[in-house]
Amino acid sequence: MPIERCTLGVSGLDQCIEGGLLRGSSNLVAGGPGSGKSILCMQFLVDGAVKGENGMYVSFEEDETQMAQNFSPFGWELDKLVKGGKIMLKYFSPEHVATYLKAPVDPLLDTVRQYNVKRIVIDSASGYEILFDSDYSRRVGLLKLLESLKKYGATILITSERDLSTEAPNFIEFLVNGAIVLYNTRQGSQRGRGIEVLKMRATNHTQKIMPMKIDKKGITVYPDELFFQA
C-alpha cells in the first residue's frame, strides 16, 4: 500500500524525504540553541494550517505570549491562524503533563481530540525528561506521551538540544520514526546553517548535510549545494 506523507512545508526539504514525514509518525528535531528548531516546527504547523490541518504547539518552557512574540518576525500571519483556531499555542508545565497522563481526563489529549489536531509540536524533550530520575523512567514517560498523542493520528515533531553529531545515541532516537538535525557551524569568522536527515523510517532520504537559510519566510533548504565543513 502507498505510504501517506505529511509535508513539512520547508522548501527543498520535503523532496529529500520522498515528499514528507510519515503521516502519524513521531520525529525528533535536534540542534543547538539558535539552530532553527522552533522555526522549522512552526513552519510545519503553518503548512498544515494552510492545507486544512489543525496544529498545536506545546511548550514546556514558554507561555503563549512569549511563543507568539518569538514567531512575530515571520510573514506567516500567525496571529490570524491562532485567532481562527487553525494553530493553538499551549503552555503546559512538564509536571502537569505527567499528572494529566495518569488522570481520567487529560486536558492536552482532550484538546487534540476536540479540535481534531493533526500536527503537534512538543518543545522540548529535555523539558519533559527532567521529571524522571532514571533512563528507564524517562523512556517509559516519553513513550507514553508520544503514544498517547499518536493514537489520534497526529504527526508529531519533538525538539531536543542534544548534539546528535557528537553525543552517544540516547533512548529518544530509538523511540521516534525520524530524526532531523540542524547545525549552526562556525568556519573562521563566518557561520553556516545546515540540516541533515539523520533517520527516517520507510523513506529513501538524502544522506548529507545540506545548507539552509532562515529569513522572514522561514527555512529554505538547498539540497544541491555544498555545506562547508569547519
| Cross-strand bridge partners of residue 91 | 59
For the segment 46-60, the average pLDDT, to the nearest whole number, is 96
Q: Mind giving me the DSSP string for 142-199?
A: HHHHHHHHHTTT-EEEEEE---TTTSPP-HHHHHSSEEEEEEEEEETTEEEEEEEEEE
* The pTM of the whole model exceeds 0.85: yes
pLDDT, one tens digit per residue, over 167-212 is: 666 778 889 999 999 999 877 777 789 999 999 999 999 999 999 9
Domain map of the chain by residue range? 5-221
- What confidence score (pLDDT) does residue 131 get? 73
Question: Do 120 and 149 contact (CB within 8 A), yes or no?
Answer: yes
Question: Do 170 and 129 contact (CB within 8 A), yes or no?
Answer: no
For cell 526539504, what's the residue? 13
For the segment 133-139, the average pLDDT, to the nearest whole number, is 83
Q: Is the pLDDT of residue 79 over 70?
A: yes
Superfamily designation of domain 5-221: P-loop containing nucleotide triphosphate hydrolases (3.40.50.300)
- What confidence score (pLDDT) does residue 230 get? 47
- CA dist 224 and 48 (Å) reads 26
* Percentage, residues of the chain above pLDDT 90: 63
- What confidence score (pLDDT) does residue 166 get? 67
- CA dist 11 and 77 (Å) reads 18
| Cross-strand bridge partners of residue 30 | 160, 181
Please tell me which residue, 171 or 98, carries the higher pLDDT value: 171
For the segment 52-72, the average pLDDT, to the nearest whole number, is 94
